[in-house]
Structure 1
């Protein structure tokens, strides 16, 4: 049977065409990609086409498991290229939180073991370790990072006798880029396993994960990649396989499910379990292909240029993110974040409020326009 190859037409190849491919842009000025990115129509069409192909055409003509499992491997190869790693490293997960919690649960913890994280982490990077503290007696050390900046000396002190360090590649509340490679090197020198929450990075710029030197990286595609919910990726260096024993094992976790003795797959694939829907990852593959057709460097340059346009126009005393943006995330101090989000939504501007710091955050992507950015800045500056 022929490989799945939906007829989606020509991909957009310019920033203007990218905007035209995103349906939500016809309805609102969307600045909340850091929470959930809006998908191009072709991404949604690809996901839907897979479901019809697999549940209609394949059932009539072939073995759905054979075709489905072959598609897993095609997807793994595709995302490995996107992340700059070998296919053996990649596992298909549900989300970043899924990947972080799976790695946290796979380590052989003992009372008194130490986990180090920063105070910038999303609950996806805090809750698994809070649970380990309660149930396994693990000590969690939190390195403070004022204004989104990690003091590497403080981090080195905290991680000196640690078992694992978990931190973000890009802070979700300030939009600052953490010195991932330096933090990984410090942790490695101390003998600590490094787990990076990279949820805000893919889709904003080209990635080559080996440059970070992390043992494991969890991310997903529903934000800046503009993919569907449910498409997570977990890259695990096969060199650390012996350190990780998944808490859940099933037939997609192992090399031969019917063998008398099972052997876990290498890398992130050992965290896959059973027949999870492939539609989200099929959609993500199309989303990645769309951004690559436009050009990831062009997307990155556009994101930073538009974010800088916003920071230039927001009153300086209210800007909590860097004045020279390091990402598309721009955080602004307002008197009443929730009310501000509601007011701007009524004006056709979609942003979000943050719990810490108590502020609002705009996510500027390449599909946004200068006019939308100017409208947003004016609305924020005109807060009553």
Structure 2
């Protein structure tokens, strides 16, 4: 499958130029059809056959295996969640916090990587420390200084504000040497670049399928490095969290399974698995090469003083300074071009995916 074939299968692209995948990606027909067929089977046929719980469990298992393959992990290291925010909260809720604990984050984290720690700051008295960044980058020396008494680092692999790549491997090494854990918000990475959790070495990686993977809302996933879960007690428990739900005394599932709780619809996870299959049909290298080429074309047309993302390719997220971001978004929308404004910096952000074309890029530049 070529990127143009993928484009032809996405109805949302028929009339508009779409540059907002960093917020949410429009799903191809095959993804929606997988969701519909799974739901129909689950509701119409499974009740009188293997049963609805068994049918759902089969989908969970298959989706977990697909996510594991995508991330270079074992299926036992994958928990299915509803979103990145959900995954981060499950980790935050499983740790035994006290006022001696320190969470370190950057000043560019999405609210998913900010609010759970603010809550713990208020309810448990933890100390939240913020690493200041410069044009989307973090200074490794600042990471070292913050690691001395840190409990957990929460950082994004790709910054949603600038599209820069943080040195996750180096941050993990520094944190682990200091005895701290690392939770990575990776939601901007799967679907546009290779993600190898072994290479990162992080303890937890939270992401979701509704952005660059072009999957549906409601299908998130959480990687938990083998063995890390043994000292964690999730804040919620249900039949999917334990080995035997009806045992006299419960025993948590080994691996990431203890972070799953109870009944959820299998339909979004069927859509997620199909989205991953489509990505593999196109090829992640093909996807990334095309994103890089189109991103370069866009950046070449943006004046140096307006480009807030790095000139050299790092991701498909391109941040452009404008005088009135919200008004610019509205003006572009009137011309059928979809981008988003950012709360910080004062800019708009264009998300360039493999389904975009050179004509899309030229239309955006002309409108700007």
TM-score (ref. length: structure 2) = 0.98
**Structure 2: how far apart are the matches of 1:375 and 1:176?**
24
Find 1:124's aligned residue among 108, 112, 116: 112
What does 1:56-135 correspond to in 2, within 5 Å?
56-135=44-123
**Structure 2: how far apart are the matches of 1:114 and 1:138?**
6
Q: How many residues align?
A: 368
How far is the alpha carbon of 1:112 from its aligned partner?
2.2
Determine the structure 2 residue equivalent to 1:356: 344
Determine the structure 2 residue equivalent to 1:157: 145
How far is the alpha carbon of 1:279 from its aligned partner?
0.9
**Structure 2: how far apart are the matches of 1:153 and 1:260?**
51
The question of 1:216 aligning with 2:204 is answered yes
Q: Is the CA contact (8 Å cut-off) linking 1:219 and 1:232 kept in structure 2?
A: yes
The question of 1:200 aligning with 2:188 is answered yes
**Structure 2: how far apart are the matches of 1:16 and 1:80?**
27
**Structure 1: how far apart are the matches of 2:167 and 2:241?**
32
**Structure 1: how far apart are the matches of 2:208 and 2:59?**
18
The question of 1:225 aligning with 2:203 is answered no
TM-score (ref. length: structure 1) = 0.94
**Structure 1: how far apart are the matches of 2:335 and 2:81?**
37
How far is the alpha carbon of 1:90 from its aligned partner?
0.2
The question of 1:341 aligning with 2:329 is answered yes
**Structure 2: how far apart are the matches of 1:53 and 1:176?**
42
Q: Is the CA contact (8 Å cut-off) linking 1:235 and 1:267 kept in structure 2?
A: no
| Aligned partner of residue 175 in structure 2, secondary structure | helix
How far is the alpha carbon of 1:318 from its aligned partner?
0.5
Determine the structure 2 residue equivalent to 1:6: none
Determine the structure 2 residue equivalent to 1:290: 278
The question of 1:304 aligning with 2:292 is answered yes
Q: Is the CA contact (8 Å cut-off) linking 2:66 and 2:276 kept in structure 1?
A: no
| Aligned partner of residue 238 in structure 1, secondary structure | coil
1:339-371 CA-to-partner distances (Å, cap 9, x unmatched) read 000000000100000001121000000000001
Range with bigger deviation, 105-114 or 331-340: 105-114
**Structure 1: how far apart are the matches of 2:296 and 2:269?**
32
**Structure 2: how far apart are the matches of 1:66 and 1:228?**
22
| Aligned partner of residue 217 in structure 2, secondary structure | coil
Find 2:226's aligned residue among 235, 238, 248: 238
Determine the structure 1 residue equivalent to 2:15: 27
**Structure 2: how far apart are the matches of 1:243 and 1:144?**
31
What does 1:259-270 correspond to in 2, within 5 Å?
259-270=247-258
The question of 1:175 aligning with 2:163 is answered yes
**Structure 1: how far apart are the matches of 2:282 and 2:138?**
33
Ranges in structure 1 where 5+ consecutive residues have no aligned partner: 1-12
Find 1:369's aligned residue among 354, 357, 362: 357
Find 1:144's aligned residue among 119, 132, 147: 132
Q: Is the CA contact (8 Å cut-off) linking 2:59 and 2:269 kept in structure 1?
A: no
The question of 1:166 aligning with 2:154 is answered yes
Range with bigger deviation, 314-323 or 170-179: 314-323
Range with bigger deviation, 161-170 or 73-82: 73-82
How far is the alpha carbon of 1:271 from its aligned partner?
1.2
Q: Is the CA contact (8 Å cut-off) linking 1:238 and 1:266 kept in structure 2?
A: no
**Structure 2: how far apart are the matches of 1:19 and 1:263?**
47
4+ residue runs of structure 1 moved beyond 4 angstroms? none
